[in-house]
Chain A
Amino acid sequence: METKLLEVKNLKTHFNTERGRVTAVDGVFFTVHAGETVGVVGESGCGKSVTAESILRLLDEKSTEYEGEILYKGKNLLTSTINEMQAVRGNDISMIFQDPMSSLNPVYTVGNQIVESIMLHQNVNKKEAYEKAIEMLRLTGIPSPEKRIHEYPHELSGGMRQRVMIAMALSCQPKLLIADEPTTALDVTTQSQILDLINELKVKFNMGTVMITHDLGVVAEVCTKVVVMYLGQVIEESDVRSLFSSPYHPYTDGLLKSIPQLTGDRSKKLHVIEGKVPTLHQVPKGCRFAPRCAFANEKCHDEMPELVQADTSRKVRCWHYKEIFQAGEESPYVSAADSY
């Protein structure tokens, strides 16, 4: 039975800056069920990390304004009090950050940091908390955790530190895990170890996971559902297979085509999405992708499309997705899979 864990409805995050108000996230929708991994992808500056931070309200409340709703088990986190948020953070919803080098406190042992989070949320004494921390470290595959628990972050390698972060995030058995680029700073062989670990623990605890990443390979490997973001908006939402075999939005299509492949023909030139992402200070009036889109016409430049249900499992924010999709050529991904 699927339980709806998290529902983000038309989330908008505004920052008040010296150069005026910018809206870093402007219309994000998605739902996470228990045991499901939702990927949030996009290029730098598309608002994917701000979305993650908005869910836990980690941004500076003085200069940030939120709009919309973030429902965790039916309760709106955006209207919760600070105390209520503290009870949710780390306990019900946990987060893994991108940089394992800077997200651990260098002057405390890793055991100390994990125990802190356990004792904050669970009614246990220090000894029990230490035992729990050792168990978590063992679960994440750290060899001889009884010894490692007394080490400082600088004594551990990048992959080990990321394991410590995961152990810390999962120490209170959260229902929902938000992983913000958890493997970007790691090497590929370490990355595959960490992705396997997250997958394994997800099944074990029946967690819902939000995987924020820019790497479409990671999405294809671990996610069941994908949300594609461009300039603060969700432009496409789909199950992972359909997205890779037949993307609806021209941006998604362009993004998929511009990655060099590990299989198939390599003599072809790479696809290029012309132009560059506009800054948040000069957001286009109509469709945000229109200035770079080969299919854009006047309507695209004037009116912003809404995120509409395209078919049962898919949503897209484009005026022309039907025509483009019908006229579009076969995606390279289907044929690559056949020939592999």
Chain B
Amino acid sequence: MSVQQIPIEQPLLEVRNLKKYFPVTNSLGKVTGHVQAVNDVSFNMKKGETYGLVGESGCGKSTTGRTVLRLIEPTEGETIYKGENIYQLKGRKLMDMRRELQMVFQDPYSSLNPRKRIGHILEETLKIHRIGSKQERMDRVMDMLNKVGFQSEQYFRYPHEFSGGQRQRIGIARALMVDPSLIICDEPVSALDVSIQSQVLNLLEEIQDEFNLAYLFVSHDLSVVRHIADRIGVMYLGQMVEEAPTDELFAQPLHPYTKALLSAVPLPNPMIKRERITLKGEVPSPINPPSGCVFHTRCPHATEICKKNVPVKRNVAPNHAVACHLYE
């Protein structure tokens, strides 16, 4: 493999102060404001690690995932991959980066071209990156199909002949074709039923071990993230409010938002009755986020300082960081 050996201590990917603002225009096309979709997000990922990015709709988790891959250009900030800022890459190097960072999309129905046979869909990535001869490419596609649980005959089928779960497996196979080192999974199981969801999650875990992959796993489903992630970052209104190893986050959530979020998930067990923290009100608009701590409008513990000063994300324990004035 052409992937260079990376020392274990060094992060595989480092996201620094990432910002993405989308302009809001009026009917004449004049910019009247900005949606602050991602606002100063930093985190890093190790090789072979699964990093879960959770939050509710509109919190910027998907935008973060897409910006890391440079599917969207950032407003500010950098993403360091192999010592280089990926937003400054050009030409050959950009292509290499694109090969090593792959993506699995949420909707298995719209992310596969309906007019191409699945064999060709998988082969296309190899063609783009000019890998192998025609015969080699075909062999590789067949191998990959078998790996994700298909028969070789299914090479010639069209996407509509497959169910949602099968298509999602094809999406995963496509990302795997070019030996990536990191896959960004944007809600990969949200569109699937529970019995199918477990098949896809198991497959993701199997291939992770086999290829030593890192996943940036974006999801709103906390039980799924708990199952698959090693570390979790919790996002609210474009900012990362807490970051911790999975077990620690679930055992000891610190940020008031994380606590409320965890307590709101209905548990599939009628024997457990929990104290639920119900948040008042609604998520404020990202066009005009609150001053100070973005969560202060809904936070049960908010004080004067929360309205004025933006809390800085700081470590309260090794690997456990939180952005909240309560822990200063």
Contact = CB atoms under 8 A, between A and B. Distances in A.
Interface of A: 43-44, 157, 159-160, 187-193, 195-196, 214-221, 240-241, 244-245, 254-256, 258-263, 266, 269-273, 276, 333-334, 336-337, 340
Contacts of A276: 163, 165-166, 196
B250 to A, nearest CB: 7
A interface SS class: helix
B193 A189 contact: no
Contacts of B270: 220-221, 240-241, 244
A188 B262 CA distance: 9
Interface stretch (B81-89, B95-103, B116-124, B271-279): B271-279
A260 B269 contact: no
Contacts of A255: 194-195
B269 A244 contact: yes
A78 B228 CA distance: 48
A241 B163 CA distance: 33
Interface of B: 56-57, 163, 165-166, 193-199, 201-202, 205, 220, 222-224, 226-228, 246-247, 250, 260-272, 276, 278-279, 282-283
Given A241-B271, A333-B269, A262 B223 contact: yes
Given A188-B264, A193-B278, A276-B196, A220 B269 contact: yes
A272 B202 contact: yes
B268 A270 contact: no
Closest 3 CB pairs of A and B: A217-B266, A260-B227, A337-B271
Contacts, number: 129
Contacts of A190: 56, 282
A272 B269 contact: no
A116 to B, nearest CB: 26
Nearest to A226: B270
A336 B269 contact: yes
A188 B195 contact: no
A255 B165 CA distance: 16
A172 to B, nearest CB: 28
B268 A188 contact: no
Contacts of B266: 191-192, 195, 215, 217-218, 220-221
A269 B201 CA distance: 9
Contacts of A196: 276, 278
A217 to B, nearest CB: 3
Nearest to B162: A276
Contacts of A193: 278-279
Contacts of B205: 269
Contact of B195 (A157, A272, A336): A272
16 contacts: A190-B56, A190-B282, A192-B264, A216-B194, A217-B265, A220-B266, A244-B268, A259-B194, A259-B198, A270-B201, A270-B202, A270-B227, A271-B198, A272-B199, A272-B202, A337-B269
Contact of A187 (B165, B220, B226): B220
Contacts of B271: 241, 244-245, 333-334, 337
B165 A259 contact: no
B198 A189 contact: no
